[in-house]
Amino acid sequence: MRRRTFLAASAMGLAAPAVGRAQDSRVLRFIPQADLTVLDPMWTTAYVTRNHAFMVYDTLFGQDSQYRPSPQMLEGFSTGDNGKTWTLTLRPGLLFHDNEPVRARDCVASLERWGKRDAFGSALMAATDELVAKDDRTLVFRLKKPFPLLPAALAKTPLFMPAIMPERIARTDPFTQVTEMIGSGPFRFKADERVPGARVVYEKFAGYKPRDGGPTDWTSGPKVVHFDRVEWTTIPDPTTAAQALINGEQDWWDYATADLMGLLARSRGVKVVVQEPSGQIATFRMNHLQPPFNNPAIRRALLGAVSQEDVVTAVVGTDPKMSRTGVGFFCPDTPMASSVGLDMLAGPRDMGRVKRELKAAGYKNERVVLLAATDFPVLKAMADVTADMLKRAGMNVDYQATDWGSVVTRRAKKDPVEAGGWSAFCTAWAGTDHLNPAGHIPLRANGEQGWFGWPNDPRIEQLRTAWFDAPDVPAQAAICAEIQREAFGSLPYIPLGQYLQPTAYRSSLDGVLNGFALFWNVRRA
């Protein structure tokens, strides 16, 4: 008996440090959606890098959960010359993490670098005649024509967020990764504690001055930090991540997987919520350069076979709160979304009719090479359902299962399938990427200059250009409705539905903001 007591006591002794760690109230332990491999937000389009960037860097404008821009690093701004001059004034006392003041010339250099990578940024820079630092706190945009979306561009939260960094770093070529993480955001990156693939550490930046007043909402308003440290631990295995959260070893799991939601929801001390209402949008991208999808009639015929419900069910299950069908080319429930053309996706699917239409469109049983990334369960689920859909529609499907690294390499090939090319693949986008045409990459239809698949529809491109010049939201929405009408005709891609991404955290946390994972405002209750 005594020996057993000894063994139990020894085991408890071993466990004690873990318990102790979990009780450290000044440290927030977070499991990111993926490993933070690349630190430079201008060098990659990984969402996890965007999330990291919002900790380290600040932006001139913030954006609230209604997608409205408001000054963030700015004290204020003014416009003149009929909207062709924008004068932006920085708040006083802004500091970089090396304790150097943030100056207007830092902002100019940062925005110039950003404008070379981001689609919205390049549209703004194309409309810009001159961007200058008038003095240390004032920067001026002199435009060739009015650009009413300037605040929206500088407030954007999707990929390639317009991070402000010191001029000496911002002068780095946009296609070369910066090596120093110096921003003016609320957290300082601890490079000395980084273990790539496993752990990233941030500490509260004592020199950060949150703006005064107003509500904290997404990336707008005062960014008040309540933790001294935030530690990101990469846990590649979802089951282990769930167990670590349930056991209190971690505080927050960014991307709780759908199959573990039930377990997490039943666990004491764990909350499962959807913080990002725009979710993810599943898409089916076709190669417009090669048969059979270089034939627009074939693409249109295929639309009759698409069941968004089947796709989102495969991804997140049958809970209707977690997904949405009837999704067009813009994120549902956002200002640019409309119902134009959605009737084509509604109603029962008649595969017999699709087969006849495919034949009439000229489909000659060409091989359809569908690339499926098996290392991303969500993408694999989409590919599985899509392959089945294509087969039932009578297409000759060659389902090629591989890893994501191979998919992104293979999809760059423009060759016929016989020469190692491809016909289609599935991927997902953040709903915020589909808020408007500015950064909506798969909707671009600029041919071989565009994204993989290379659709070519000059009308969509004309409408996109017109959208930037639209004076107000109703005018912008009208153009987007027209874009959607055109897109349902030429089908640069096929929308496969929207699904929501739950996040899970210990119920001891309070103040978790809407949107992607943000680390201000959150505190331990």
Partner 1 sequence: MLGYLTRRVLATIPVMAIVALFVFSLLYIAPGDPAAIIAGDQATPADVERIRAGLGLDRPFLIRFGEWLWQVVRGDLGVSIFTNLPVTRLIQQRLEPTVSLMILTLILSIVIAVPMGVLAAWNQGTWIDRAIMVLAVFGFSVPVFVVGYLLAYVFALDGFGLGLDWFPVQGYTPLARGFGPWLSNLVLPSVALGGVYIALIARITRATMLEVLSQDYIRTAKAKGVGSRTVLFLHALKNAAVPIVTVIGIGVALLIGGAVVTESVFAIPGLGRLVVDAILRRDYPVIQGVVLLFSFVYVLVNLGVDLLYTVFDPRIRY
The binding site for partner 1 (CB under 8 A) comprises 11-18, 35, 37-38, 43-46, 117, 159, 173, 175-177, 179, 195-199, 233-237, 239-241, 243-244, 246-247, 249, 375, 402-406, 408-410, 412, 427, 429, 433, 441, 449-452
DSSP helix, strand, coil percent of the chain (3-state; round to 5): 35, 20, 45
Please state the closest distance from residue 450 (CB atom) to partner 1, in A: 7
Please state the closest distance from residue 404 (CB atom) to partner 1, in A: 7
Nearest 5°: the CA angle 322, 323, 324 is 145
Q: Which is nearer to partner 1, 186 or 439 (CB)?
A: 439
Nearest to 423 by CA among 382, 448, 463, 453: 453
Q: How far apart are the first and last CA of the chain?
A: 42
- Give the C-alpha separation, 258 to 382, whole Å: 14
Please state the closest distance from residue 221 (CB atom) to partner 1, in A: 28
Nearest 5°: the CA angle 122, 448, 128 is 15
Q: Which is nearer to partner 1, 78 or 449 (CB)?
A: 449
Q: Which is nearer to partner 1, 159 or 385 (CB)?
A: 159
Q: Quick one: DSSP state of residue 276?
A: -
Q: Which is nearer to partner 1, 396 or 402 (CB)?
A: 402
Alpha helices in 362-454 (DSSP H): 377-392, 404-410
- Give the C-alpha separation, 313 to 343, whole Å: 20
State the number of CA atoms in the 13 A half-sphere of 373 facing the CB. Answer: 17
Q: Which is nearer to partner 1, 196 or 511 (CB)?
A: 196
Please state the closest distance from residue 370 (CB atom) to partner 1, in A: 16
Please state the closest distance from residue 488 (CB atom) to partner 1, in A: 22
Pairing of strands 187-189, 199-204: antiparallel
Please state the closest distance from residue 335 (CB atom) to partner 1, in A: 22
Please state the closest distance from residue 499 (CB atom) to partner 1, in A: 16
Signed CA dihedral, 335, 310, 306, 286: sign only: positive
Q: Which is nearer to partner 1, 160 or 218 (CB)?
A: 160
Q: Which is nearer to partner 1, 220 or 498 (CB)?
A: 498
The encoded tokens of residue 302 equal: 């295929």
* H or E segment and range at residue 335: none
- Give the C-alpha separation, 226 to 513, whole Å: 13
Decide: 286 and 299 in contact? Cβ < 8 Å: yes
- Give the C-alpha separation, 404 to 205, whole Å: 36
What size, in residues, is the chain? 525
Q: Which is nearer to partner 1, 409 or 507 (CB)?
A: 409
Strands (DSSP E) found in 266-407: 270-273, 280-286, 323-324, 367-373, 396-402
Please state the closest distance from residue 241 (CB atom) to partner 1, in A: 8
Please state the closest distance from residue 44 (CB atom) to partner 1, in A: 5
Q: Which is nearer to partner 1, 208 or 330 (CB)?
A: 330
